Amino acid sequence: MRSFITARRLIDGKGGVMTGQPVVEIDGARIVALHENAPEGAELRDFGDATILPGLIDTHVHLNMPGNGMLLEEVMREGVEVMLATSVGSALQALGAGITTVRDVGCFGTTAFSVRRALALGYATGARVMAAGAPITITGGHTWYMGGECDGEEALRHKVRALIKDGAEFIKVMGSGGGTLNTASWRPAFTQDEMDAIVSESHRNERRVTVHCLCAESIDIAVRAGVDQIEHAGFIRRNAPQHYDAAVAERLAKSGIPVTTTLAVGATAINAMQQIEGRSPEQDAFLARWQRMLAENVEQFTRLSEAGVTFVAGTDAGWRFTSFDSLVLELQMMEQGGMAVSDCIAAATGRAAGVIGLEDRGILAPGLLADLIVVKGNPLEDLAALHDLDLILQGGVDHLPTPRAQRAAQAMTVPG
């Protein structure tokens, strides 16, 4: 069945904007054509003063976690069945926010593979899932509870193969400590030889590698190993404020390796704390710490951008207070850091898809998946327009008002 979606403007996800009466022609799950004007005889679904754009992509999420303030340690205590159910809810929340694809960069065991499978079978509704499984981490390293502990070059090569056997579409590595107990964010985790082994084995098996880096030295190790992407790119030091390292930034920029922002983590933590009336001294301290860290992170984002580093949008949804509808906030933080609005949108559509290796989506073009959204108004004037969704199309299937309500209505149709 062919359908024709039209609105006042269209953002194609690769830098192009069409105005007037652009029309997207869809046949089944795919886009078959983009028209500058309505084709003769086409029955238009006209959204008026609205914008058509590709379904959004969040390149950094953790489906296992609810994003309601829970620590990973607390989530793990609930057990794997609860984490699986949580993941389905997370994927649905993302879809409801116009995010048609998420990339899970760290789950317990193989849970994200199972969710990906159930969604692909149509047994559940949610954002399409790309998954790495458990992140590879040193013994006792960041997120070791997820099951990705491994040390030594031989063992790491085996680990990469085992992850791929289980269903990893890419490899996630914890290149430094992070926000889990007793891990050191200011210290690189793997040696250069170990990181080299992970990367060469992954590439031999046609898998991209992305590395969580919260300190300067971990960025250098990742860059030298030739990884495909870096998450966060922080400059944390031991018992000291972050310190931007221009020489490291220059090497990173020169490498061309893109970075995922994850500014929403701080923005959502601050929001959550500010909503509490009568905060405890601990909550006040938590708020002050995140206000300082977010300011540092935005400043580093600005300086890295100016140095020539490319960014894609990722929220770290699931982590602490980061809900699965935080991507617009992420883009707004990127704008605050000096990125042009059109570039922010590219970072969550076409550029995101390119960096993570999904060539069938992220832009509006013939032959690609009919994953698109329509929002009221013009997000190029105000990114907040991305909240005002008029249509969420995933593989040509309409997911508004809510997926559940729509399913229920179909189920209640009296046969015959």
Query: Do residues 70 and 317 touch, judged by C-beta distance below 8 A?
Result: no
Residue 244: CB minimum distance to Zn ion, A = 21
Residue (174 or 375) nearer to Zn ion, CB: 174
For Zn ion, give the closer residue by CB, 126 or 135: 135
Query: Minimum distance between the CB of residue 260 and Zn ion, rounded to whole angstroms?
Result: 9
Which residues are registered as beta bridge partners of 392? 373
CA dist 318 and 262 (Å) reads 12
| Closest distance to Zn ion from the beta carbon of 320 (Å) | 10
CB-wise, 23 or 75, nearer to Zn ion?
A: 75
Strand partners, 347: none
Q: Are β-strands 23-27 and 2-6 bridged in parallel, bridged antiparallel, or unpaired?
A: antiparallel
Smaller CB separation from Zn ion, 24 or 264: 264
Q: How far is the CB of 62 from Zn ion (least distance, A)?
A: 6
Taking CB positions, which residue lies at the least distance from Zn ion?
316
Q: How many angstroms separate the Cα of 241 from the Cα of each of 140, 232, 236, 292, 333?
A: 25, 16, 7, 9, 21
Nearest residue (CB) to Zn ion, 296 versus 316:
316
CA dihedral 394→396→402→407, nearest 10 degrees, is -120
Nearest distance in Å: CB 346, Zn ion: 22
Least Cβ distance, residue 289 to Zn ion (angstroms): 18
Rounded-to-integer distance, Cα 27 and Cα 66, Å:
35
Q: How far apart are CA 150 and CA 217, in angstroms?
A: 20
How far apart are alpha carbons 28 and 393 in whole angstroms? 11
Shortest distance in whole angstroms from residue 61 CB to Zn ion: 8
Q: Which is nearer to Zn ion, 31 or 107 (CB)?
A: 107
* Cβ-based nearer residue to Zn ion, 214 or 373: 214
b/e map of 148-183 (b: 16 or more CB within 10 Å)? bbbbbbeebbebbeebbeeebbbbbbbbbbbebeeb
For 12-104, list the strands marked E by DSSP: 17-19, 23-27, 30-35, 44-46, 50-54, 56-61, 99-104
Pairwise CA distance, residues 143 & 123, whole Å: 29
Half-sphere exposure of 170 (CA within 13 A, CB side): 23
Q: Of 24 and 83, which has the nearer Cβ to Zn ion?
A: 83
Tokens 């992305």 -> residue:
210
Task: Quote the least distance from Cβ 105 to Zn ion, whole Å.
Answer: 6
Q: Is the Cβ of residue 227 or residue 370 nearer to Zn ion in the bound state?
A: 227
Considering beta carbons, is residue 22 or 178 the nearer one to Zn ion?
A: 178
Asked if 171 and 163 touch (Cβ cutoff 8 Å), the reply is: yes
Minimum distance, C-beta of residue 178 to Zn ion, in the bound complex (Å): 8
Strand partners, 53: 373
What's the rounded Cα separation, in Å, for the pair 391 and 403? 12
Question: Taking the complex as a whole, how short is the minimal distance between the CB of residue 332 and Zn ion, in angstroms?
Answer: 20
Q: Collapsing DSSP states into helix, strand and coil, what is residue 260? A: strand
Interacting residues with Zn ion (CB under 5 A): 316
